[in-house]
């Protein structure tokens, strides 16, 4: 009976969507959701006449703690919508601060996107809608009327991994018409991500365009590779076709990616006008990408002058048995002795990796390895990682 009821709700909801779409062709009023009001409060609406409960869940709501086998995480809370006329449910927030927000609905226990909002984003295998409240930090995430860089997807040959692989590259405004050489930031994603993560969820192109236009960031190339070495590209973009993305795939943190990272650098420096030296190379990443950045910069200890660890997954792993992880202390000391300009660490106060990062900083303190440390509110979330990029990029290549 419960399954039959859910099918009825979905059917009538789809009928409702269709009728609203049809009447919009003839001047009928469409559902507006989300509606951002002048005081930055937001009204959400969802049409489903036969539902018993409708909730909205998103990162604008207070977080709740959830426990998993990987630890305790912050997760978005939820709020009940109120049923109104014609089966349209609604919920209004208080004024929201400037941010890029994600949300979805839960209709009688079934999670779904907002059919009135065409702006959808994928994080691993989850789809959510998004909206932006401007007037502050999130203005960096908007497309402004300024010169824009170019985002391309390129395929590179990786002899070490024995395949062609896909990566995303941002070139700054004016690159195509210039003869100038540029520094490069290699920007790495976290577990479950791919070469699409930073450009989509991280708003990298918008952040770089806006901060270059403001004169706060030096024009640079940003290379965003796929850190899942068994993939040639993101799910749906490579030779494996369409399949459900996973949070962790085999060999992501066993040393294979780090050991073969020079294939990416060689491709970049052979195909783009870059300043191919240590002083003009930076590497940074979030979570698993922070783990990769730590080990790549240590394993190739005279390659990068700038290293950024964003909520880095600094933890021992049973599969971390490759050569890359041997002589950790010795190679870290060599990296220190070779010299660098910036070693940057950022972590949220409630991040489940906070203690691991605290222990790693104690290790750096003990060996006299200098670093810059930023501690922010919140946990293991894109909201922090976008901010970290906007703080890290301005101090590069000075």
* Distance separating alpha carbons of residues 287 and 365, to the nearest angstrom: 21
Show Cβ contacts of residue 33 under 8 Å, excluding neighbours closer than 6 positions: 43, 44, 45, 46, 114, 116, 117
Quote the pLDDT of residue 70.
57
Quote the pLDDT of residue 318.
63
Quote the pLDDT of residue 10.
45
**Mapping DSSP to helix (H, G, I), strand (E, B) and coil, where does residue 205 land?**
helix
Quote the pLDDT of residue 20.
43
User: pLDDT per residue over 71-124, tens digit each?
Assistant: 666 778 899 999 998 899 999 999 999 999 999 999 999 999 999 999 999 998
Do 225 and 264 meet the contact criterion of CB atoms below 8 Å apart? yes
Low-confidence ranges of the chain (pLDDT < 70): 1-29, 67-73, 316-321
Q: Are strands 163-171 and 120-123 parallel, antiparallel or unpaired?
A: unpaired
Quote the pLDDT of residue 64.
78
Tokens describing residue 35: 């509606």
Tokens describing residue 267: 């491709």
Would you list the DSSP string of 95-139? Answer: ---SEEEEEEEEETTEEE--TT---EEEETTEEEEEEEE-SSGGG
Which residue has 């290699």 as its token pair?
A: 186
Q: What are phi and psi of 231, to 5 degrees?
A: -105, 145
Among candidate residues 207, 172, 168, the one with its CA nearest the CA of residue 186:
168
User: pLDDT per residue over 311-338, tens digit each?
Assistant: 999 976 665 667 899 899 999 999 999 9
**Mapping DSSP to helix (H, G, I), strand (E, B) and coil, where does residue 384 land?**
helix
Quote the pLDDT of residue 76.
84
Q: ∠302-306-310 over CA atoms, to 5°?
A: 125
Do 265 and 160 meet the contact criterion of CB atoms below 8 Å apart? no
**pTM for this entry:** 0.89
What is the set of domains in the chain, with CATH numbers? 2-135 (2.60.40.10), 144-395 (3.40.50.1820)
Among candidate residues 127, 164, 194, 137, the one with its CA nearest the CA of residue 389:
137
* Distance separating alpha carbons of residues 86 and 73, to the nearest angstrom: 38
């Amino acid at each position: 009976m419960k399954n039959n009821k859910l099918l009825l709700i979905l059917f009538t909801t789809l009928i409702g969507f269709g009728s609203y779409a049809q009447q919009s062709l003839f001047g009928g009023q469409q559902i507006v959701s989300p509606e951002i009001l002048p005081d930055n409060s937001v009204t959400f609406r969802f049409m489903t006449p036969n539902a018993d409960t409708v909730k909205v869940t998103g990162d604008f709501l207070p977080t709740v703690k959830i426990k998993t086998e990987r630890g305790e995480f912050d997760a978005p809370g939820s709020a009940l919508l109120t049923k109104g006329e014609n089966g349209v449910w609604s919920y209004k927030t208080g004024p929201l601060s400037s941010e890029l927000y994600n949300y979805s609905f839960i209709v009688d226990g079934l999670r779904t996107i907002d059919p009135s909002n065409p702006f959808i984003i994928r994080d691993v295998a989850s789809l959510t809608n998004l909206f932006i409240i401007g007037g502050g930090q999130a203005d960096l995430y908007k497309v402004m009327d300024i010169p824009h860089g170019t985002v391309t997807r390129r395929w590179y040959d990786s002899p070490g991994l024995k395949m062609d692989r896909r990566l995303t590259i941002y070139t700054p405004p004016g690159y195509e018409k210039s003869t100038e050489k540029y520094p490069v930031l290699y920007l790495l994603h976290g577990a479950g991500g791919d070469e699409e993560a930073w450009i989509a969820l991280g708003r990298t192109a918008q952040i770089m365009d806006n901060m270059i236009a403001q004169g706060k960031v030096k024009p640079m190339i940003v290379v965003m590779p796929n850190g899942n070495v068994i993939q040639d590209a993101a799910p749906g973009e490579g030779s494996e076709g369409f399949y459900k993305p996973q949070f962790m795939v085999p060999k992501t943190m066993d040393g294979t990616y780090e050991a073969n990272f020079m294939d990416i650098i060689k491709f970049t420096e052979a195909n783009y006008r870059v300043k191919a030296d240590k002083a003009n190379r930076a590497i940074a990443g979030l979570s698993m990408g922070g783990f990769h950045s730590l080990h790549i910069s240590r394993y190739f200890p005279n390659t990068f002058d700038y290293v950024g660890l964003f909520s880095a997954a600094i933890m021992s792993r049973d599969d971390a048995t490759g050569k890359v992880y041997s002589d950790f202390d010795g190679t870290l000391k060599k990296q220190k002795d070779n010299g660098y300009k910036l070693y940057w660490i950022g972590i949220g106060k409630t991040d489940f990796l906070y203690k691991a990062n605290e222990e790693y900083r104690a290790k750096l303190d003990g060996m006299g390895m200098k670093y810059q440390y930023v501690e922010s509110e919140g946990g293991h979330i894109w909201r922090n990682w976008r901010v970290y990029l906007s703080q890290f990029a301005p101090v590069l290549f000075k």
